[in-house]
Amino acid sequence: MAVANTRVDWKETPEAHVFTADLPGLRKEDLKIDLVERNTLRISGKRHKEQEEKTDQWHRVERSSGRFMRQFHLPENVNVDGISAKLENGVLTVNAPKTHPDAGNGGDVKSIDIGSA
């Protein structure tokens, strides 16, 4: 993975688990959020490399490009049907609300739509 240093914060509140990632320059079309086997949250995407011209002379290249993927094993107290995501000003926020631990599990992969604020 070329963008292996994509950092994600995960905090737990009384109501939900909240995942936050700084993804400057990415559009929601560049991102994919899946729920795998109803207990693994997968955030992936691709940052495109800037187009180079033959006349360009680069002095420094520090911004990374390429694909990235992060996965998080969700605790049993997550309401997987209530997971939502939004991308605002280059910050992705995924909200996984809590539920009762005896709620049913099952299924393969569910995609999460990314909303805009």
pLDDT at residue 53 is higher than 60? yes
Exposure b/e, 61-98, CB count within 10 A at least 16 = b: eeeeeeebebebebeebbebeebebebeeeebbbbbbb
pLDDT at residue 40 is higher than 60? yes
**What is the per-residue pLDDT for 100?**
61
pLDDT tens for 58-78 read 787 777 778 999 999 999 999
Mean pLDDT check: name the lowest of 16-25, 30-39, 62-71.
Answer: 62-71
pLDDT at residue 2 is higher than 70? no
DSSP 89: T
Report the DSSP beta bridge partners of residue 71.
Answer: 42
**What pTM was computed for the model?**
0.77
pLDDT at residue 102 is higher than 80? no
Give the rounded distance of the alpha carbon of 100 from its chain centre: 24
Return the amino acid letter for 10. W
Q: CA 78 to CA 83: how far, in whole Å?
A: 8
Domains of the chain: 8-47+65-116 (2.60.40.790)
Judge whether 28 and 114 are in contact, CB under 8 Å. yes
Mean pLDDT check: name the lowest of 29-33, 42-46, 53-57.
Answer: 53-57
Go through the chain and tell me how many residues it has: 117
**What is the per-residue pLDDT for 65?**
77
